[in-house]
Amino acid sequence: MSGLQLLSEHRCFGGFQRFYRHDSREIGLPMQFAVYLPPQAEQGAVPVLVYLAGLTCTEETATIKAGAQQWAAQHGLALVMPDTSPRGANLPGDSDSWDFGVGAGFYVDATEQPWAAHYRMESYVVRELPELLKTLPLDVSRMGICGHSMGGHGALTLALKYPGVFRSVSAFAPIAAPGRCPWGQKAFAGYLGEDREVWKRHDASELMAQARNPFPEGILIDQGLADKFLAEQLYPEAFEAACAKAGQPLTLRRHAGYDHGYYFIQSFMADHVVHHAGVLSK
Ligand X SMILES: N[C@@H](CCC(=O)N[C@@H](CSC=O)C(=O)NCC(=O)O)C(=O)O
Query: Which residue sits closest to ligand X, CB atoms considered?
Result: 54
How would you classify the pairing of strands 15-23 and 5-12?
antiparallel
What residues between 113 and 132 interact with ligand X by CB under 6 A?
A: none
As a whole number of angstroms, the distance between CA 215 and CA 218 comes to 6
Q: Which stretch binds ligand X (CB under 6 A): 13-21, 54-62, 114-122, 198-206?
A: 54-62
> Who contacts 247 (Cβ-Cβ below 8 Å, separation ≥6)?
212, 213
Q: Which stretch binds ligand X (CB under 6 A): 11-19, 53-61, 204-212, 216-224?
A: 53-61
Among 100, 166, 235, 262, binds ligand X (CB under 6 A): 262
Residue 52 interacts with ligand X (CB under 6 A): yes or no: no
Q: Are 152 and 174 in contact (CB under 8 A)?
A: yes
What residues between 60 and 79 interact with ligand X by CB under 6 A?
A: 61, 65
Among 41, 57, 66, 121, binds ligand X (CB under 6 A): 57
Q: HSE (CB half, 13 Å, CA atoms) of 25?
A: 13
> Who contacts 251 (Cβ-Cβ below 8 Å, separation ≥6)?
218, 219, 220, 221
What residues between 94 and 113 interact with ligand X by CB under 6 A?
A: 98
# chain residues binding ligand X, by CB under 6 A: 13
Sign of CA dihedral 181, 116, 155, 228: negative
> Who contacts 231 (Cβ-Cβ below 8 Å, separation ≥6)?
none
- Can 83 be counted among the known catalytic residues? no
Alpha helices, H only, the chain: 61-65, 69-75, 121-123, 129-133, 150-161, 182-192, 196-199, 204-210, 236-246, 262-280
Residue 172 interacts with ligand X (CB under 6 A): yes or no: no
With 0-12 / 13-18 / 19 or more C-beta atoms within 10 angstroms meaning exposed / middle / buried, residue 230 is: middle
- Can 260 be counted among the known catalytic residues? yes
Q: Are 259 and 225 in contact (CB under 8 A)?
A: no
Residue 54 interacts with ligand X (CB under 6 A): yes or no: yes
Q: Which among 149, 168, 170, 205 is annotated as catalytic?
A: 149
- Can 227 be counted among the known catalytic residues? yes
Q: Are 158 and 107 in contact (CB under 8 A)?
A: yes
Among 13, 16, 56, 241, binds ligand X (CB under 6 A): 56
Closest distance to ligand X from the beta carbon of 247 (Å) = 29
Among 37, 46, 52, 55, binds ligand X (CB under 6 A): 55
Closest distance to ligand X from the beta carbon of 264 (Å) = 10
Closest distance to ligand X from the beta carbon of 261 (Å) = 5
Closest distance to ligand X from the beta carbon of 14 (Å) = 26
Closest distance to ligand X from the beta carbon of 137 (Å) = 29
The torsion angle over the Cα atoms of residues 265, 143, 207 and 236, rounded to 10 degrees, is -10
Closest distance to ligand X from the beta carbon of 98 (Å) = 5
Which positions are annotated as active-site residues? 149, 227, 260
Binding site for ligand X (CB under 6 A): 54-57, 61, 65, 98, 148-150, 260-262
